[in-house]
Amino acid sequence: MKLTQQRMVSLLAVAVAIGCGGRPEQASAKDAQKPIVMAAATADAPPAAAGSASVNGSVKFTGTAPTPERVKMDADPQCAMQHKDPVTKQDVVVNPNGTLKSVFVYVKEGAQPTAAPKTPVQLTQHGCMYEPHVLGIQVNQPFEIINSDATLHNVNCKPTKSKPFNIAQPTQGMKSSKQFTAPEVMVPCKCNVHPWMASYIGVLDHPYYAVTGDDGSFAIKGLPAGQYTLEAWHEKYGTSTKTVTVADGESKQVDFEFK
C-alpha cells in the first residue's frame, strides 16, 4: 500500500527525532503559511553604537588552497534539482584574491554589553544548504529559522551556554523563532536529514562583529575609544587574536592570516 504524503512526512519527522537523540520541535501550521524570506549572505548589520571609531581589515590565506569537496545530494532529488552546477562544502573557501571567506571577526575583550536589537537575524535552508554559513547575533536578539525548500529539514543547534534546540521543518515556508540567552563563540548547527548541512553562530552581548565575504574583508564600526582584543575564528584553522587601540573618530587597519 502506498503511503500518503502526510504519513511520509510524519515518518520522516520521527526518523529525525531518533537520529538526534530526542523529539524535534514542530513548527506550527500558522508558521507554515508565512511567506519565505531569503537570508542575506551575512547576518543583518548590527545597530549603530555610541562610538565613532572603527577597525577594518582582511583575513589572508597563506599556502596551497585545498581542493573543494563536492557535496553529494543525489539521495534527495529535491536538493539536487535546485543546483545547475556542482555544490562544494563551505568549510574552507579561499577567495580569488587569496583571502578566506566565512571568518567570524569580533571584539573578544574590551567591549561593554549593549541592548539586543529587535531586528531578527535569519538562517535560511535554501537548496539544502544553510545561508549564511557563518553568522553573528546578540544575546536575546530574535533568531528566525526558515525552510525555503520543498523537503524536510531540521535545525539541530547545540549551544553549551544556552538551551539547545532541534526544530523539524517538513513544509516549505515554515518559520521558527528562537533566542540565545548567553554569549558563546561558536554555536554549531546541523541538519540530521542532510548531513552535509552545517552552520556556525557567534553569540555576543555586543554588536561589534563581522563575517568575511567574497573579498575576505571585514569592518567593525561604532566602537567607543579604547583598547580591544580582536579574535578571528575559522572552523578549520582555529583562532587568531590581535590587540588594537582606537581613539574617537579613528579607523585602524588590522589584518589576520591563516596558513
pLDDT in tens, 195-212: 999 999 999 999 999 999
Question: Is pLDDT at 77 greater than 90 in this prediction?
Answer: no
Least confident of 53-57, 75-79, 180-184, 233-237: 75-79
Average pLDDT, the chain: 86
- The more confidently predicted of residues 115 and 74 is 115
The per-residue b/e assignment along 42-70, b for 16 or more CB within 10 angstroms, e otherwise, is bbbebeebebbbbbebbbbbeeeeeeeee
For every residue of 184-249, DSSP letters joined together read EEEEEEE-SSSTT-EEEEEEESSS-EEE--TT-EEEEEEEPSEEEEEEEEETTTEEEEEEEEE-TT
Domains and CATH numbers, the chain: 5-258 (2.60.40.420)
Mean pLDDT score, 13-26: 48
Rounded Cα distance, 217 and 230, in Å: 14
* Stated pTM of the model: 0.82
